[in-house]
Every structure is written in C-alpha cells, then in structure tokens.
Structure 1
Amino acid sequence: MAYQNFTDVIASEIEARLPEISALNKHIHANPELAYEEHKAHDAFVSTLTALGFKVTPHAYGIPTSFVAEFGSGGRLITFNAEYDALPEIGHACGHNLIASSSLAAFLGVAAALKVSGLPGRVRLLGTPAEEGGGGKLKLIAAGAYKGCAASLMVHPGPGHKIPEPIRGVACVRMLANVKNKVHFRGREAHAAIAPWEGVNALDAVCLSYNAIAMLRQQIRPDERIHGVFRSAGDRPNVTPADCTVEYYVRSGTRARANALWERVRKCFEGAAIATGCQMEVEPLNSYADLRPSRALCEEYVKAMPKGTVIMDEPGDFLAGSTDMGNVCYECPGFHAAFALRTKPGEANHTKGFTAAAGTEESFQAAMECAKGMAVVGLKVLTDDVFAEKVQKEWNEDMKLAAESK
C-alpha cells in the first residue's frame, strides 16, 4: 500500500473516532485527578478502548492507574504515551487531557493502518500516570513497559503567545534534567527561653543551607536551576526546632550535569549540618532525565504536519521545565513535540489561564492535527526498515554523548 494511502487511512480513522476521543478529552478535563489518583481517567480509557474492540490490560505493570492496549503482531513495537494527571487546585493546567486524547487518536490511526495493510508491527497505547512530580514513567520503565520499543511518542501543549503565527508547533523540544531530594535535619529540642544552650537548632541548619545555595547560584551554568521549599521548619517559637525538612530541585542540561550540580548543593547542606551540630539525612525523590528527542523522528513529524506550521527547534522558552519522558528517551528513541494553544501573556503552563485554554474545542482540534502527524511518524518506524535503522543508530550515538557529557 502506498505511503499516501497510509496517511489517508490514519486521518480517516481519527476523524471517524472523534466523538469517542472528544468525550474522553472532556471527561478528563472536567475531572482533574492528582498523581496516582487518576481512577476516573483510567476507567474511562479502559471502557472506551474496550468498546472500540481492543484488548486492554487495566492496572498495568503493577500501577493501579496505568493501563495498556496493543494491536498488531510481529515486527517492531512503538508506544504512544497517554498522560492524564492534573495539578492541585488548578486542574489540567498542563493540558494532559490533550496529551491523552492525541495519544489515543494516534494509536487508533496506526492500528487502523496496520489492520488494513496486514503488515507486521505492533502499536501500544500506554497509560502513564503521575507525570507531575510522581515519576509514573520511572515505575513503568522499571517494570519493563518500554523494553524492546523502537520508538516512544507523545505531544505536549504549550503557550501559543510565545511563538509567532503561523507557527503552531515545535518538533524538537529539549527539557532539563531534574534531580529531586528531600533533606532532613535532626537537632535537639530545648526551651528557647529557659535553656536555649541545651538545644541544637535544625532551623538554623535550614537557613544556613538556604543562604549557601543562594551564593552557589552565582557560579552555575546559565541553563541550570536550583529551587526549593521548606517542608517543615518548627512548630512554636519557644521550642528549639529539632526536626526540619527542605525539598530541593536541581536542574541542568543533561542528567550527568544535574547529578554533578546536586553534589555541589549537597555540600551546602553538609556544611550547614556541621556548623549547627545537626544530623543530616538525604531522601532521594524521583529524578527526571533530560529530554533528548530523536531528530530523525522530529524531522519526519515536520514533514507530516501542514507545511509551515511546525518548526524543528524551540524558540526561547516555549516549553521549559522537566518531564519523566526524559527517562524514556534514555530507554529508546523518543519524540515529545509541542503544540500551541491560544493563550495570552501570563497564561503559560501551570496557570489557571492555561487550564481554561486546554478545555476549548480549538485546542482539541489542534491535538487531533498533531495526532495525525504523530501517527504517520510512528507508522513509518514500523513499516520502513531503513528509517527505523536510522532512528536506532542515531539514538545509540546520542546515548554515548549523554554518557560523556560533563
């Protein structure tokens, strides 16, 4: 079957399934759920896919709110990632309802093309909960969800006011690695008025480390970030704080650099502990690797989208931050393009304005346009041996570069 016919099959299938996809999109947006609590989204996916005739595994890979559906046999395997967790208080302010919808649509499009053609290849729709700080994909990686995967694909919405018309998307988005830790300081309680000399003040350790890190920021790379909050800092002014906790994120351009920067930050905490006489304990949290998209996949996506609407590389800070999709890119070739929603200044991701934008029909249609392009790219990985080999070779070389980065 001709390549153009594949494209037509994908587009026709997605158009035919718009009622089901739209209903799921609206349901998820109207029922925001936090990390690992996405039971309504999980159940909606399972029921929708089952009704469409797919075999679905609920609660997949030992994660209650993950699921997996697969179609095809033999050949190579690709995955589409469906994110659907929201943020506290502001709901789907990162547009994960649109990510879920676009991945579902792309999955349906590729499945239809495989069914019509009879060609070997497998397409998997993977429910990936808890991207917003919960590290859902890290658990999926550990459980083997991406083992043997030739490519893993998804698209992510971003603020349209940050890119000029007629551009509506960016194919090759880079995001920072993010090393996360809690640090616990243990001191000794005392009455702050009667016998302050008997106390060991954990809050002093917190404050010393905070100021040391503030000074360290002068000596870090322009793309690096250090930010944290006080999780506990004492209960009463007249009791010397004995147990205090902070949580810090350390970001850099690569996973290796982020780990190196964390070691510098750790010394700030260690010095504060020594100076105040406190004990210190580090509790590692889920850390995200840098996002390393496959340029071969990105180039094909630009070709598959309407001419002039998608550019290759990110202009400025269109979609900054970190994602656990970065960890997936260290497991197999990855694709994480961004598309623009109609927003105003001050309505970037993680704002109430973005939540509203993520719920519009215009945004849903933009996600469907991206799904068609993403499906074309995914199908090319399955059906074009030369292209698949190019993607794999490029990824192998990039992993060597990542390991050597300083």
Structure 2
Amino acid sequence: MAQNWTSVIEGEIEARHAEISSINQQIHANPELAYEEHKAHQAFVSVLISLGFDVTPHAYGVETSFSAEFGAGGRLVIFNAEYDALPGIGHACGHNLIASSSFAAFLGVAAALKASGLPGRVRLLGTPAEEGGGGKLKLIDAGAYKGASASLMVHPGPGHHLPDGIRGVSYVKMLANVKFRIHFTGRESHAAIAPWEGVNALDAVCLSYNAISMLRQQIRPYERIHGVFRSAGDRPNVTPANCCVEYYVRSQTRVQAERLWQRVFKCFEGAALATGCEFSIEPLNSYADVRPSSVLCKTYLEVMEQGTVAYSEPADILAGSTDMGDVCYQCPGFHGVFGIGTKDGEENHTKGFTAAAGTEQAFTRAVECGRGMALLGFKVLADDEYAEHLKADWESDMKLAAEGR
C-alpha cells in the first residue's frame, strides 16, 4: 500500500478525534439493551449525516440498525459497530469501544477512497443486539452482508491476560453456541391430598439436569453445556405442571455444536419419558463459531505497530460466542481483540470491566485498532491480487467448516 494513503487514513482519524470520542462517550454513558439502542442509533445517524455521508437509519428492517456507505463500484468492506449493553452492569463488554474503533476505521477508509479515486465501497453497519439478541442474524437474513469482500471489527478483552508489551491478539477463534428453551408439561395435583394424580414437570427438569451433568464427563475439553431454570413451579403443595429450562450448548464449530446438542436432546427426551411428561423445544438465537480469516489476521499484524499484537496467544483473552461467527460464514471475517486495563483484573461482563471501558486509555486503544482496521480494509479494496487470495482462502475454509473442522 502506498505510503500516502496510509497518511491520509491516519490524518482523517486524527482529524475526526472529537467526533469519534463523542460517540464513544455517549454510548458508554447511556447503556441500552438489545434492540433498545435508540440513543446510540440516533447519535451515529446524526454525526454521520453531519459529516456528509449517505446514511440509512433503521436499516434492513431492524429499528436500531443503521448503514452508512461511501464509494462506488469495486469491492465492499463492512465495519461492524456494536453498541448494546448488558442488564444492570452497562457496557461490561465494551461495545462503546467496538463502535468507536469501527467508526474510526470507516472514516479512514472513506478518506482514502476519496483521495485515491479508486473504485470500492466501505460501509459502517450498526449491528444491535449482540448480547443474546442475534442482531447480525437478522441483518444477514436481510442481505446486509451480501457481496461483501470482508467484514471487520475488534473487541476489547481483559489486558491482564496479555504478555508485557502486547496490546492485542489478531487471530481469535470463538465457540459455536446452540441455544434452546425446553418446556416440560405435566399435570397439576394437590401434592398432599392426591400426589398420585399429578405428573411432575419439575421431576423432568431435575432428571434432565442430572443427566446433562453426567454427560459433561464425556465431552471434549473445549465443549460447554450450561443452563438455567426459567420456571420450576409456584407453590410446594401444587405438583408443578409447567416448567421451563434454557440451555446453551457450545463446541468448536457449528457442526460439532449441533452434534453435541443431539446428545443433550436425549437427556430431555429421557427425562420426559421417565416422568410421563410431554416436552417441546423452542430454538433461540444460535451463533456460529468465529472463523477469522488467517489472511486478514496476518495482514493486521503487519499494519499495526510492530511487536504490539500477537497472532493467536493467549487463548483465554476472549472466550464465549458471538453473532460475528455467523458473519464469518458470509464473507472473510476479522474479529481481533485488544486488551484494556481493569483495576482489579476483572473479566468481561463485570462492573469492573464497565468502568475500564469508559477510560481514556481504553478509547485510545480502540482508535489505535481502528487505524489498523482501516489500513487492512483499504488493502482489501485497493489490492486485486490480495483480494483474490483472501477470497480463495475463505472458500477453502468454508469447505472445512461444512465438514465440522
């Protein structure tokens, strides 16, 4: 990449520091839950319009999504801006920082496209409801990622997991997550006068719980099964007739998670059979595994400050699952992680992480990553040979994914 376009990207991000910082502060100070991110949506739409971009509010049929685009022809690169928070603890996953880094990257690539006159399009996509709401799944279904050559974002994690001098990790895989709600239906009875008349749905819940606990002994080290009781009866003297549990089943790939779910399903099926209950399954928003493009991840290392980003270590910088995994099945994806400092070493989804996500240091790290993503995204648009290599590598990986590898 020619040095002058790098200077343009860096200069634009620096020039728009006030706008990026304002978005970051507004989102962090006004935490909103999944599909309720009206203030974040409006803040983005307003500032993007003021900067002269073509903006679509309420994009792709999702009330709190937006889409801003610049350029024409050529390839399309999408930056994802997340901004939903968690109940009770605000931005404990640092989505304000994700939004800020993607905003910075979008501005940088747009400036480079304008200055270079090259064909290509860059899109900043507002992606609400990552925290369990599956916002990107709705956007995928509506065609938001159709024709994209790459989709990029970065995510904050606990910096104390990183070695000295390392501020981020480029290649981070995350688990597929199959989610279900299970309803057991029995028959009510008076638990003292005529217990024999009842069919106890809570017994089915407990049997399935114990069966799953035993199953955990026979699963792979990276696999996870965890659940909660949503309803387990109302009064001790009434045989519970309607009980509900919710379970997440995670594994290394989407195919493997589905296979594990079939084993978990038998635990519910057996519990219903043993207790005489009926049962039904309600699918929830399941997330595919994050399969980052190794091509994008290696290039990100090259464009970031030398020695500050590791390729794939440590493995525990960010775990869990995200709907960005499903995006990786639509086009080559990048989901790098950067570390932020927490006062007492707290992890994501804690109040301590919320406080850390609001610091100036964390914002500086986010913008630093935005610069790297901008350089990476512009390379996808400007370098034909690189883009072809990226596409071929992704297509090969999708064949592996279909085999559950």
- State if a TM-score over 0.5 links the two structures: yes
Moved over 3 A (4+): none
Structure 1: distance between partners of 2:387 and 2:313: 24
Structure 2: distance between partners of 1:6 and 1:224: 44
Q: Is 1:192–1:240's contact at 8 Å kept on the other side of the alignment?
A: yes
1:6-405 alignment, distance < 5 Å:
6-344=5-343, 346-405=345-404
Q: Is 2:158–2:345's contact at 8 Å kept on the other side of the alignment?
A: no
CA shift, 1:55, in A, is 1.3
Amino acid corresponding to residue 58 of structure 2 in structure 1: H
CA shift, 1:314, in A, is 2.9
Q: Is 2:98–2:156's contact at 8 Å kept on the other side of the alignment?
A: yes
Structure 1 residue ranges without an equivalent (≥5): none
Structure 1: distance between partners of 2:327 and 2:23: 25
Deviations 1:21-56 (A, max 9, x none): 101100000000000000000000000100111111
Q: Is 2:172–2:315's contact at 8 Å kept on the other side of the alignment?
A: no
More displaced, 273-282 or 339-348?
339-348
Secondary structure class of the residue paired with 1:313: coil
CA shift, 1:368, in A, is 0.5
Secondary structure class of the residue paired with 2:129: coil
Amino acid corresponding to residue 242 of structure 2 in structure 1: D
Secondary structure class of the residue paired with 2:250: strand
Q: Determine what percentage of the aligned residue pairs are the same residue.
A: 75
Deviations 1:131-171 (A, max 9, x none): 00000000000000000000000000000011111000000
Structure 2: distance between partners of 1:28 and 1:57: 19
CA shift, 1:346, in A, is 4.4
Q: Is 1:161–1:345's contact at 8 Å kept on the other side of the alignment?
A: no
Structure 1: distance between partners of 2:172 and 2:18: 30
What is the aligned residue count? 405
Secondary structure class of the residue paired with 2:311: strand
Q: Is 2:301–2:309's contact at 8 Å kept on the other side of the alignment?
A: yes
Deviations 1:244-303 (A, max 9, x none): 000000000000000000000000000000000000000000100000000110111001
Secondary structure class of the residue paired with 2:85: coil
Q: Is 2:297–2:334's contact at 8 Å kept on the other side of the alignment?
A: yes
Secondary structure class of the residue paired with 1:9: helix
CA shift, 1:405, in A, is 1.8
Q: Is 1:67–1:127's contact at 8 Å kept on the other side of the alignment?
A: yes
Deviations 1:303-343 (A, max 9, x none): 10000000111313110110000000000000000001012
Deviations 1:78-119 (A, max 9, x none): 100000000000000000000001101100000000001110
Q: Is 2:34–2:128's contact at 8 Å kept on the other side of the alignment?
A: yes
Q: Is 1:99–1:155's contact at 8 Å kept on the other side of the alignment?
A: yes
Structure 1: distance between partners of 2:192 and 2:10: 74
Deviations 1:198-246 (A, max 9, x none): 1100000000000000000000000000000000000000010000000
CA shift, 1:3, in A, is 1.6
